[in-house]
Amino acid sequence: MPTPVTTASHAHIVETLGRRIVGGELPPGTGLTLAGLEETFSASRTVVREVVRVLEAHGLLTSRRRVGLVVRPRSEWDILNADIIEWSLDSPSRRDVLIELTELRIAVEPVAARLAAERASAPVRDELLRFATLLSDLGGQGLGDSTEYLEADIAYHRLLLTASGNPLFVKLSEPIAEILRGRAVRGLTPGMPRVGTLEAHLATAQAIFDGRGADAEASAREHLTLVSDEVVEG
């Protein structure tokens, strides 16, 4: 069983190396070796191998015979992995990444809202409306950057995707939670949300509650368009 020191060292190396790759310090095609990583991080071969396994699973590294380890291009990364989202939000390309992730949300969440209006159970409709009302109240008080707002926002969007009944949409719950969390902890979420954002959020939940699929989709799209404007203006 690894000691706490070994475990901490493993996590530290994964994060440090991952951030260097995602941040562009180690661009695609860069070659690395186990021996070189052992020396750089003063780590054992066992720890380094475990680190490499994690980063290979993230799509950041690949092993090539007679070459060693090679940094893979961004197109091959698991870009919806929570670690990669977090590291990307601290990278020079943060704005571009946020725009890409918001475009994904625009493509998915309005459809999820329509499906939720058609498929969600009565208790789920109640819960969505409760979360949306709470978000409206907190935002109206200038608490859009509070922990309570963040937790309610994550819960709302996770429940929305689940209520769609589409397991592929549900798979996006954690990446979207990481996007919301990442914006909040980096001070990118305003205390007083943009005019119209809270209203569109609440209108989406109300339309789902009433079973009005087309209205739910339109309101969700309006909400995310406003979010996109915030991101672009950054």
Q: Quick one: 71 and 91 in the same domain? A: no
Mean pLDDT of 7-18: 86
Q: Domain range holding 65?
A: 4-76
Find residue 31's DSSP bridge partners: 70
What are the tens digits of pLDDT across the range 31-62? 999 999 999 999 999 999 999 999 999 999 99
Of 71, 93, 100, 98, the residue nearest 23 (C-alpha): 93
Residue whose entry in the numeric block shows the structure tokens 């939720």: 116
* Domain tally, the chain: 2
Altogether, the residues listed in the chain come to a count of 234
pLDDT at 3: 40
Residue whose entry in the numeric block shows the structure tokens 């926002």: 153
Tell which of 30, 48, 76 closes a domain.
76
pLDDT at 5: 41
Q: Quick one: 118 and 30 in the same domain? A: no
Q: How far apart are CA 129 and CA 150, in angstroms?
A: 16
What are the tens digits of pLDDT across the range 83-120? 999 999 999 999 999 999 999 999 999 999 999 999 99
Q: Quick one: 72 and 141 in the same domain? A: no
Q: What is the DSSP letter of 76?
A: G
Q: Quick one: 71 and 25 in the same domain? A: yes
Q: Quick one: 207 and 106 in the same domain? A: yes
Q: Quick one: 123 and 167 in the same domain? A: yes
CB 234 within 8 A of CB 95: yes
The pLDDT confidence band at residue 4, using thresholds 50, 70 and 90, is: very low
Q: Quick one: 129 and 67 in the same domain? A: no
Q: How far apart are CA 35 and CA 18, in angstroms?
A: 18
Helix residue ranges per DSSP H, the chain: 4-22, 34-41, 45-57, 82-89, 94-119, 122-140, 147-163, 167-170, 173-185, 197-210, 213-233
Question: What would the two tokens of residue 215 be?
Answer: 């209205």
Q: How far apart are CA 41 and CA 49, in angstroms?
A: 13
CB 171 within 8 A of CB 179: no
Instruction: For the chain, give the mean pLDDT.
Output: 93
Task: Look up the CATH number of the domain holding residue 25.
Answer: 1.10.10.10
Q: How far apart are CA 114 and CA 215, in angstroms?
A: 8
Mean pLDDT of 152-171: 97
pLDDT at 233: 82
For residue 2, pLDDT beyond 60: no
What are the tens digits of pLDDT across the range 172-230? 999 999 999 999 999 888 898 888 999 999 999 999 999 999 999 999 999 999 999 98
Residue whose entry in the numeric block shows the structure tokens 């979420």: 189
The bridge status of strand 61-64 relative to strand 31-32 is: unpaired
pLDDT at 234: 66
Task: Look up the CATH number of the domain holding residue 110.
Answer: 1.20.120.530
